[in-house]
Structure 1
Amino acid sequence: MKKTLFAATLLAASFSAGAADTMLKFPIAGAMAANNAQSRLGDSVKFYFAGQPTPPVTSTVITDKTSQRTNSFGKPAETACNWVFLSAMLALQKRAQDVGANAVVNIVSNFNNVEMASATEFECAEGAIMAGVALKGDFVKIAP
């Protein structure tokens, strides 16, 4: 019984330690160069971060967001954040395909619903055991 209580207390402490996330900024270009991100995303859906010029938008389908987390225990912050950035981008891609959009524009970091707009950087919450990236964007159809 004491071992179970100790293990539960230790587990709860480790989760609460992750609650004090440090907000870090990393280059989008670096994340797109890591983990075969560019090839894994392909070109069926185009992505444009806030401030980047976009082709003409023919229609806006929906505005939506994603929030992804990954285990960061024992990993350098940039490695974990680049990995979870790719997960967030893949989630945006899937959502775009599901709603019939061929682009996501005005993408901003949106951790805890606090927007950070940048054409060159994304924001990542780095905690003791988890890293998280939240993105928000407009799912649109652009001219071919």
Structure 2
Amino acid sequence: MQVKHWSFALAVLAAMPSISQARDTTLILDFHTVVVDATEEGRLDGSVKFYLAGEKVPGKASTLHEVVTNKKTNAFNKSDDEACSWVLKSALIALQDEAKKAGANAVVDISSYYKRKEMRDSKNYECHAGAFVAGVALKGKLAKLK
């Protein structure tokens, strides 16, 4: 009887590497579509504008300080695009809150910053989606636009 238990335990342990190697799919998705959706849904109030790295900022901007946000969301039973959109909205809300606290009306020079690897793109953001979790990390500068 003991041998059967050990055989079962070994079989379970042998299967563990395939279970523990979680999916981590990198997606590069449109940033501004999500900003518009979040504003229309009322999740963003429109008082803070968002500009990706390389985007032209209207008027003159005086930057205050750098901010970083790293958000995760439950991706279970969601498409990768849906989970990534949801988690970007959470990151944008966090940036909006930081900007308002600092008296800023914009976040400029935004780049993706997943695992501290910077991806600068004037149109897209980077999201990592797994079977259960999706994540977005952003780095930017709080600014006052005139």
Please tell me the TM-score bracket, short chain as reference.
0.7 to 0.9
Distance, in Å, in 1 between the alignment partners of 2:49 and 2:65 is 15
Aligned: 1:44 with 2:34: no
Percent of residue pairs bearing the same amino acid type = 42
1:81-105 C-alpha deviation (Å, 9 max, x unpaired): 0000100000100011111211100
1:38-71 C-alpha deviation (Å, 9 max, x unpaired): 2321221111111111024442211010000000
Q: What is the aligned partner in structure 1 of residue 103 from structure 2?
A: 100
Aligned: 1:76 with 2:103: no
Distance, in Å, in 2 between the alignment partners of 1:47 and 1:106 is 9
5+ residue gaps, structure 1: 1-8
5+ residue gaps, structure 2: 1-12
Equivalent positions of 1:1-144 (< 5 A) are 16-18=20-22, 20-34=23-37, 37-39=38-40, 40-143=43-146
1:110-138 C-alpha deviation (Å, 9 max, x unpaired): 10010111111110011121000101101
Distance, in Å, in 1 between the alignment partners of 2:81 and 2:35 is 12
Distance, in Å, in 1 between the alignment partners of 2:105 and 2:71 is 22
SS at match of 1:108: strand
In structure 2, relative to structure 1, the CA distance for the partners of 1:80 and 1:101 (3 Å cut) is same
Distance, in Å, in 2 between the alignment partners of 1:26 and 1:58 is 26
In structure 2, relative to structure 1, the CA distance for the partners of 1:118 and 1:68 (3 Å cut) is same
In structure 2, relative to structure 1, the CA distance for the partners of 1:29 and 1:103 (3 Å cut) is closer
RMSD: 2.3
SS at match of 1:115: coil
TM-score where L is the length of structure 2: 0.79
Distance, in Å, in 1 between the alignment partners of 2:143 and 2:20 is 38
TM-score where L is the length of structure 1: 0.80
Task: State the one-letter code of the partner of 2:39.
Answer: Q
- Would you tell me which structure has more strand in proportion to its own residues? 1
- C-alpha contact (below 8 Å) 1:17/1:128 kept by paired residues: no
1:8-40 C-alpha deviation (Å, 9 max, x unpaired): x9xx99x9544x522111111332344xx0232
Task: State the one-letter code of the partner of 1:46.
Answer: K
